[in-house]
Structure 1
Amino acid sequence: MDLVRGASGAERDRSIEALEYALGEGRITAPEFEERVEAAFLARTRADLAALTAGLPRGLW
């Protein structure tokens, strides 16, 4: 995946869905979720979005 390319709305949505799932599974806290979702809306590149789900198991979403 080209991480330098601009992030699309669909990619933001997928990242937020992954964060919602992680929150539901107890893998991140509510404040951390809110912080990461805010960052997802501000993300300019795919790398920005990838950083938000780094450390979460890929099988979550």
Structure 2
Amino acid sequence: MSTTRIELDRPRCEGHGLCEEAAPDLMHLDDDGELVIDRPEIDEADLPTAQDAVRVCPVAALKLV
């Protein structure tokens, strides 16, 4: 069984926070506005939420691998 991970291209991230709104259980913006992936390993139940977070990123800084 393969594992899905959410990956962040940190230099590309501008801290808009749309991904955090879409997936607050998976990621958050810290006090400096930097995105933190709390749960990089995505289980099947969280996959739709992770896909939403990737989709709403306006600078394509997130991807699922």
Asked if TM exceeds 0.5, the reply is: no
Give me the TM-score of the superposition, normalised by structure 2.
Answer: 0.37
Give me the TM-score of the superposition, normalised by structure 1.
Answer: 0.38
Going by fraction, where is helix more abundant, 1 or 2?
A: 1
Going by fraction, where is strand more abundant, 1 or 2?
A: 2
